Amino acid sequence: MKTTIARGIKTPIIKSGDDLATIVVDSVLRSSQENNYEFSDKDIIAITEAVVSISKNNYATIDDISLDVKNKFNGDHIGVVFPILSRNRFSILLRAFARVAKELTILLSYPFDEVGNGILDEDKLRELKINPYSDVISEEDYVKHFNNYIHPYTGVNMVKYYREICELENTKVNFIFSNNPSDIKKYTKNVIAADIHTRFKTKSLLKSDLEMTVYGLDDILTKPINNSGYNEKYGLLGSNTATKDKVKLFPNESRDLLNEIQKRMFEKTGKKLEVMIYGDGAFKDPSTGIWELADPVVSPSYTEGLVGSPNEIKLKFLIDNEFKNLRGQELEDAVARKIADKNNNLKGTDISLGTTPRLYTSLLGSLADLMSGSGDRGTPVVLIQNYF
């Protein structure tokens, strides 16, 4: 049985306008020559979303974002509901919102944001007998009881940090702390729903009040503003700070790029590889409680062979039950037959008890994200072999 292997593939530094298909294909082929391995059908080339957006020059400035927000709202007081606490992800977007509004009211969930970043002291919360499911914490009470709280891993008080961003744009800012998005209605009728994975629920709840004007981050920059970049499906979701005045947006559907890479690899190797773009992995760090997935999806684009979810046999269940009296080669042969029956779609072989249903692209993208990291490894392409 072949072993699943994931390889980080080094590439040249990728800049706007580069021919990414050529860079990816050449880098993967060079790696195979230097490390003496061959390709098989259904091997996977995974490309980090960052280099896709960079090569396509998919950027937008703070002023581009501000102009789109200005065009969407009638009123100078804007509410921002459930933003994550992120210097890289959200702070530059907040600058854009502050630049167009005279006043912002920011509603923050507590005790954590959507991806697990803490915003206040949980022990103090219990001491004060505050119920996160029903109670609203005013800014005055936050300052009185929680103002000295800093993020345990960044050492930053994100409320103070977000306040400073707004004040630098000469915008008045208020904070409220609640897990009910409807509490924003007491302050303004113009709202940006800034959450990621819960955005549809939040927008639906707020839009039930017909007096409200509500947009999500996924509704802003869905088309170019002044020749800016954009994301037709996700807007500002998945964006990252690129410079002090510019964001890199999540890549648009890139099936043409992926099909071209697949075609060239087939011409070079005679094997049909699958190709995908990946962003954040879909996993939660148990030591920090922080969920990695701040992108709207793990993979925004992939070739057709990666559609679907695994139907896996739970080997531990088989070994402890049906094959509990078998050992050695007899056990190996029995397991191999069961897997073969499952792959041939025979009835009675779906021993999937306890397996977690996930998309192939979520599993593969998470593996690729762990392999490539987010630092200076210089491996924005990951080759995964023998996965299927």
pLDDT at 289 over 90: no
- Would residue 381 be called left, alpha or beta, if left means φ above 0 and alpha means ψ between -120 and 50 degrees? beta
pLDDT of residue 348: 47
Instruction: Tell me if 17 is assigned to some domain.
Output: yes
Q: Is residue 234 part of a domain?
A: no
Q: What is the CATH number of the domain that holds 364?
A: 3.30.1330.100
* Residues in a beta bridge with 291: 284
* Contact between residue 271 and residue 28 where contact means Cβ atoms under 8 Å apart: no
Give the single-character DSSP code of 106.
Answer: E
Does one domain contain both 293 and 208? Answer: no
Range of the domain at 54: 5-58+251-309+359-385
> What percent of the chain stands above pLDDT 90?
78
Shared-domain flag, residues 161 and 82: yes
DSSP state of 138: P
* Range list of H helices, the chain: 20-35, 49-55, 62-72, 91-100, 122-127, 139-146, 158-168, 199-207, 255-269, 315-320, 328-343, 360-372
pLDDT at position 330 is: 74
Measured from the Cβ of residue 106, the count of other Cβ atoms closer than 10 Å reads 26
Please give the pLDDT value at position 347: 47
Q: Within a domain: residue 202?
A: yes
pLDDT, tens digit, for every residue of 67-105? 999 999 988 999 999 999 999 999 999 999 999 999 999
Q: Across residues 206-213, what is the average pLDDT? A: 95
Residue 324: the pLDDT is 73
Looking at residue 351, what is its pLDDT? 47
Q: Is 322 within the bounds of a domain? A: yes
Among 150-159, 232-241, 269-278, 355-364, the least confident range: 355-364
- Asked whether the whole model's pTM tops 0.85, one would answer yes
Rounded average pLDDT over 215-229: 97
157 and 183 share one domain:
yes
Q: Are residues 79 and 204 in the same domain?
A: yes
Number of structural domains the chain divides into: 3
Residue-averaged pLDDT of the chain: 91
Do 335 and 301 share a domain, yes or no? no
In a domain, 304, yes or no: yes
Among 26-35, 233-242, 372-381, name the one with the lowest average pLDDT.
372-381
Question: Mean pLDDT throughout 118-135?
Answer: 95
Residue 355 has pLDDT above 70, yes or no: no
Residues 85 and 172 in one domain: yes
Residues 23, 156 within the same domain: no
Could you tell me what percent of the chain has a pLDDT over 70?
A: 91
Is there a single domain that holds both residue 87 and residue 181? yes
Same domain, 181 and 272: no
**Which candidate, 167, 295, 287, places its Cα nearest to that of 234?**
295
Specify whether 100 is located in the same domain as 179. Answer: yes
Q: Are 375 and 262 contained in the same domain?
A: yes
The type of residue at 289 is: G
pLDDT at 312 over 70: no
| DSSP assignments along 259-328, one per residue | HHHHHHHHHHHS---EEEEE-S-S-B-TTT--BS--SS-S-SEE-GGG-S------HHHHHHTTTTT--H
Residues 12, 23 contacting (CB under 8 angstroms): yes
